[in-house]
Amino acid sequence: MNSKLNAIGIFDSGLGGLTAVREIQKIMPNEDIVYFGDTGRVPYGSKSREAINKYARQDARFLKKMGVKLIVAACGTVSSVAPDLSEELGLPYTGVVYPTCFTAAQVTKNGKIGVIGTAATINSHSYKRRIQAKHPEFEVLEQHCQLFVSFVENGLVDPDDELVQMLVRRYMAPFKESSVDTIILGCTHFPLLAEAIQREMGENVTLIDSGKETAIYTKKILDEAGLLRDDGHKGEAYYYVSDTPADFEKFAGLFLQNSPENRVEHINIEEY
């Protein structure tokens, strides 16, 4: 039997989705995971809507071919721009926007919520529209933080690093001026900068980790569909990339907070 069958499929433009992998492994340790990082075409956040839609479909089709039971678009850009692919794929499918917005709306005290993400995510206004559809009285401020992606992909996440502090200070300035009390980390890269952001904003501001909230929501979907594993199996993760595996392996541990247990394999995503 193919050990990848019955796994949770997760894709992202690069390494950021590994923060969702980490959270899923915490709350669903019995589940196998197949992860695809489109490292050859990263970042998605600066691409056109047409390109992002094409990439999302290719990524999802690859995961479906691997026999997964559910697909998670662990990418704020894809979740904001690409359509829901569940009907097209014939599989349960979720992005990160809905579960993240739900939690942010629950925790804010003053109704002022900040959203940070890639340029494509912010330009789509997906988080803002989702929140204000349910809570029109809330004020939602948006800020694209495209350089955060580059910093994280290159391992620049130390909150004591002056360059990191300078960039965080610049991006967070509008939120401080507006007294937001909740900030959505609308890109799965951004939890790695959470400590630096928290320091800048102060302890009274709540950060919402899209990877964590998506992991919780994924468990809910699987549980309601009767697809959760409860057989004592120790979950494994399998990693695939569209560029050099060595580069992925070099930084994957930073996102996972441990080294990938299995070898990283290269695939030609253009075949899908």
Half-sphere exposure of 258 (CA within 13 A, CB side): 9
Q: Where are the domains of the chain?
A: 8-95+212-271, 97-210
CATH number of 97-210: 3.40.50.1860
Q: Is 21 left (phi over 0), alpha (psi -120 to 50) or beta?
A: alpha
Higher per-residue pLDDT: 2 or 5? 5
Structure confidence by residue, pLDDT tens digits, 108-119 = 999 999 999 999
User: Taking residues 126-145, what's their average pLDDT?
Assistant: 96
8-95+212-271 and 97-210 share one fold: yes
For the 8-95+212-271 domain, the top CATH level (class) is: alpha beta
Is the confidence at residue 34, as pLDDT, over 70? yes
Task: Give the pLDDT of residue 4.
Answer: 62
pLDDT of residue 1: 34
Structure tokens that stand for 76 in this block: 């704020």
Among candidate residues 10, 85, 104, 187, the one labeled active-site is: 187
Average pLDDT, integer, range 207-230 = 94
Given the residues 75, 104, 113, 167, the one annotated as active site: 75
| Cβ atoms of residues 255 and 190 within 8 Å | no
What pTM was computed for the model?
A: 0.90
Quick check: is 145 catalytic? no
Q: Is 187 a catalytic residue?
A: yes
